Amino acid sequence: MPIDARPYPYELLAKPPALVIIDMQRDFVEPGGFGDALGNDVARLQTCIPVIARLLATARRLGLPVIHTREAHRPDLSDCPPSKRQRGDCRLRIGDAGPMGRLLIDGEPGNAIIEELKPLPGEIEIVKPGKGAFYATPLEQILPNLGVTHLLLAGVTTEVCVQTTMREANDRGYTCLLIEDATESYFPAFKQATLEMIVAQGGIVGWVADSDTVIQALERTYG
């Protein structure tokens, strides 16, 4: 049963797609984190939390593989290029101490995935030093082991880590769909532009659909 998507229906196979939830961590969605230090209005990102929570509950109930990602650097910053740390004109930089611990550092309270979307034991959590989830991570080995060919993407931010990951996956042959109300950006125009870029030219990067449509199709197909 296909998902009614743009630019045309997205086929669901007998083997279910994986739900990939990008960087739903306190550092991006809560005041006092990395996103806030860069001068963004983090409240904008919070609107997609209940949507992703519904998708996550559906994926768990239907037995879809779930992959969470988290942008993080080692405490010694050995995996953080100086060019990334120096970027921007911010009060606090990656590795500096903020109200939720050191910004964007693995193991700090502010780097954790938010409580509402916390991974269950056994779910895969990819810790990534870059914007894309394939760069310097084991994701490239994990997906073939799961037998997954199709990815449903959600998370933040649409035009940075979500789009980078979707493009990386598309180049590796994965058939990707971005769930449009399950992703958000600090910049509404960038979100909209990303959605349009993905579906342009016959779906040059993949497909886009809303969460109700995705959930209904998943329930009909795998329920």
Structure-token pair, residue 135:
């760069």
Binding track over 112-151 against ligand C5J, x by CB under 6 A: -------------------x--------------------
Q: Are 197 and 180 in contact (CB under 8 A)?
A: no
**Cross-strand partners of 19:** 66, 152
The answer to whether 23 is a known catalytic residue is yes
Nearer to ligand C5J by Cβ, of 58 and 194: the residue is 194
| Least gap, CB of 162 to ligand C5J (angstroms) | 7
Binding to ligand C5J (CB under 6 A): which residues in 164-223? none
Q: Are 186 and 41 in contact (CB under 8 A)?
A: yes
Neighbours of 166 (CB within 10 A): 26
| Least gap, CB of 26 to ligand C5J (angstroms) | 12
Find the binder of ligand C5J among 36, 71, 108, 181 (CB under 6 A).
71
Nearer to ligand C5J by Cβ, of 42 and 160: the residue is 160
The answer to whether 36 is a known catalytic residue is no
Q: From 173, 179, 170, select the one nearest 217 (Cα to Cα).
A: 179
Nearer to ligand C5J by Cβ, of 30 and 71: the residue is 71
| Least gap, CB of 72 to ligand C5J (angstroms) | 11
Neighbours of 119 (CB within 10 A): 16
Binding track over 1-40 against ligand C5J, x by CB under 6 A: ----------------------x----x------------
**Cross-strand partners of 178:** 153, 208
| Least gap, CB of 57 to ligand C5J (angstroms) | 22
The answer to whether 48 is a known catalytic residue is no
Residue 108 binds to ligand C5J (criterion: CB under 6 A):
no
DSSP letters for 18-71: EEEEE--BHHHHSTTSHHHHTT--GGGGGGGHHHHHHHHHHHHHHT--EEEEEE
Q: Are 49 and 42 in contact (CB under 8 A)?
A: no
Catalytic residue chosen out of the listed positions 48, 80, 161, 176: 161
Q: Give CA–CA dist 204/202, Å, rounded.
A: 6
Q: Which residues are catalytic?
A: 23, 128, 161
Instruction: List contacts with ligand C5J (CB under 6 A).
Output: 23, 28, 71, 131, 156-157, 160-161
